[in-house]
Amino acid sequence: MTVLVTGGAGYIGSHMVWALLDAGERVVVVDRLSTGFEWAVAPEAELIHADVSDTAAIAEIIRAHGIEAIIHFAGSISVPESLADPLGYYQNNTANSLALIRTAIATGVKQFVFSSTAAVYGTPRSDGAIAENTPTVPESPYGASKLMTETMLADAAAAHEFRYAALRYFNVSGADPLGRTGQSTRGAANLIKVATEAAMGKRDGIEVFGSDYPTRDGTCIRDFIHVTDLVAAHLDALTYLRAGGDSLVANCGYGRGYTVREVLDSVRRLSGRDFEVRLGPRREGDIVTSVADSTRARTVLGWTPRHDDLDKIVGSALAWEAALARSNHTIDEPAEQSSRRIVLDWTPPHDDMEEIVGNALAFAPVLARRRHSR
């Protein structure tokens, strides 16, 4: 049996592919490579250039490869972008997901794991952790487009022999601890990604949108989850569905929140570098506080996070940025053949960073080799 991963050349999807392969699964990736990268896909997985909205192509892939489960990441993920282009988000996230769900049911796929988001909740009515029964009042087309897909999945499961798990992510960050993949998306807006780029000199600083929120330091609070723990939750969800578990929605987060300023302090401390922080006005669509109650994922799916530490998340992101920065190439251009080793140009301020540095150094030849192998 084989698992189909849509969007498997992207940030979270590429980590998912490695996790599935590590678990002994056979994996087929479908990606149109609009934001993902061919080199990011593990060489043991089969990559097919296709769009999930192409029902004929997806049906043929499912039949030809004996696909028995789909993990669906393909989609657009920016709140500000969704406000500027709402119809594009409803097309890419909702209409294309509808096409994929229809194809899955028509071809007999019975397990479906969906990449949803905490943006479906909107602004919580209280300061406590957000549980799955919290009212869903999305404040952006991004959140609304994901909630619509959840509704389609629920209705499809009620009408067909088809079960799903919709995982509502909080703030996904970090990189594979083994250095095999990380966030490489062009123009990524993820706070930790942007801050680590600033620390590595790839940006001239970072803008903080709003410093007058009713929080402990005036900046927004977010629940940051390591991408490795997130894909582990997907693997647990797949195992649960295969064992006959009922369809469900589950939050993925640690249940603790950090302010924007606290994240920036962690990046400065671990990198040993300062960078400019520009305080700007609040940004439309941003939520003040977003922290997960992940009890359901832990108890029903058996999910056990292993990287619940802000410094560990930031450290893995810094190691990835260091590897990219010193390998003499850009994300879109292959490295020179001779560029096989990375020399980090920052020094860790304490012993806890030794493992991070080691991972970055070890990853240098892997990064170069995989770019040339595709």
Select which of 11, 90, 142, 164 is catalytic.
142
Cβ pair 263, 224 in contact under 8 A = yes
Locus of tokens 């602004």? 123
Among the listed residues 147, 146, 167, the one whose alpha carbon sits nearest the alpha carbon of residue 247: 167
d(CA 371, CA 363): 12
Residue 89 is a catalytic residue: no
Residue 31 identity (one-letter amino acid): D
Active site residues: 142
